[in-house]
Structure 1
Amino acid sequence: MRRGGSEALLASPLSAQNPPPADRPNNNAVNSSGQNNSDKPVAGANSFTEGQAKSKIEDAGFSDVTSLNKDDNGVWRAKAKKGGSSTDVSLDFQGNVNAAK
C-alpha cells in the first residue's frame, strides 16, 4: 500500500541545535572538581553514596566531616572543618559543596 506525497517524519536539524532551557544552574548532573554552579544547594535526586559525599566534601578542602545525612531535598548535609573553623556544609546532586553562610 502506497501513500501519496512525501510524509516522512524527520526531525528538523535546527531542533538538535536549540536544546530546551536549563531549569537549574548549568543543569549538569555532576560538576567538575572544584566548580560550583550555585552558591546554595540545588534540590534534586542525589545518587551520591555516603562515602562519595564525604569524599566530595573533603575534596573541596574540608576535614573532620561528621554528622553526614541526606535531607528530604536530596542534599547531603554535614559538619566539617576548614581553616580551623567548624561549619555546616552541604553537597547537592550536582556536586556543589557549600559552607553555611
Structure 2
Amino acid sequence: MLRTIVALSATSILLTACGNSDTAEAPVEGPAVSTAEAPANPAIDTQDTSEKAAVTPGANSFTEGQAREAIEKQGYTVSGPLTQDAQGIWMGQASKSGGAATTVSVDYKGVVSAS
C-alpha cells in the first residue's frame, strides 16, 4: 500500500513538473532543421538528361526486353538484337517509321539516344 502511495505521489510530481502546454511559449513541431544551404552531393547526378541525346555510362540493370521496350516507347522499331557494351549501354539498330536504320542506345537511366 505504501509503495502505491509513493508511486502515485512521484507520478503527480513529475506531471506537475512538466507544466501546462497552454502556458508554454511556443510548441516545438518536428525535428530541428538547419536553415543553412547544404552542399550538393556530387555523387548524385541531378541533371535532366531525358531530353538530351547523350547517354550516361553506368551499371545497367535493364534486361534486353526492357531496353527494347524503352526504344519502342520513343517511336522506334528495333530491327535486330540489342547488345550491352562494357559501360552498361544497350545498343542496336532501329528506325522510325519510313526512316533509315540508325544505331539506338539506352543507358542505365532509360534515356534513349539515336546516333
TM (norm. structure 1) is 0.66
Residue 70 of structure 2 is aligned to residue 70 of structure 1: no
RMSD: 2.9
Unaligned runs of 5+ in 2: 1-31
Cα distance, 1:53 vs. partner?
Answer: 0.6
Aligned-partner SS, 1:14: coil
Map 1:15-94; keep pairs closer than 5 Å: 18=38, 20-23=40-43, 25-26=45-46, 36-84=50-98, 85-94=100-109
State the identity as a percent: 34
Q: CA deviation at 1:95?
A: 0.8
CA 68–36 in structure 1, closer or farther in 2 if over 3 Å, else same = same
Distance 1:42 1:24, change over 3 A: farther
| Structure (1 or 2) with the greater helix fraction | 2
Larger strand proportion of the pair: 1
> Whose RCO is larger (CA < 8 A, sep 6+)?
1
Structure 1 portions without partners, runs of 5+: 1-11, 29-34
**2:97 counterpart letter in structure 1:** G
Instruction: Tell which structure's C-alpha radius of gyration is larger.
Output: 2
Corresponding residue for residue 23 of structure 2: none
Return structure 1 stretches of 4+ with deviation > 6 angstroms: none
Shift in Å, 1:36: 1.2
Aligned positions, number: 83
Partner of 1:95: 110
